[in-house]
Amino acid sequence: VQSIGVYPITETPYPHQASIRKFGTHVCSGSIIDKQHILTAAHCVVSILGSIADDTTVFTGTNNLVPGQGKGHKVFKVFVHENFKFKLGEKSDDDVAILR
């Protein structure tokens, strides 16, 4: 089987990517908006009960998910779209959050 247009990715910096982690484990990716804000999906940071995990961190500066890679940043504030409702197994048009 031959794959067309597929090539191996080497570790290179992707300045727009971030890893969203809860209790040290990667749960979602995010996009860097500026030095203080990350765009991600609301379901990545809001639990089924509606609470936001205390130990949510953002890692930047690497595309490697191995612990110890990149620079960790504590999340101080989470802005979730006002119409977002977490429903297990259902999609939401308002599934967006900004981390600071």
Structural domain includes residue 80: yes
Give φ, ψ of 35 to 5 degrees: -65, -20
Return the closest-CA partner of residue 92 out of 37, 44, 56. 44
Written as six digits, the tokens of 48 are 């089924």
C-alpha span between 19 and 73 (Å, rounded): 10
Written as six digits, the tokens of 68 are 């110890």
Structural domain includes residue 9: no
- Domains in the chain: how many in total? 1
21-79 per-position pLDDT tens digit: 988 889 999 999 999 999 999 989 887 555 666 788 999 987 777 777 789 999 989 99
Domain that holds residue 32: 17-85+92-99
Return the closest-CA partner of residue 32 out of 59, 9, 53. 59
pLDDT at 39: 97
Q: CATH code at 47?
A: 2.40.10.10
89 CB burial (10 A radius; 0-12, 13-18, 19+): exposed
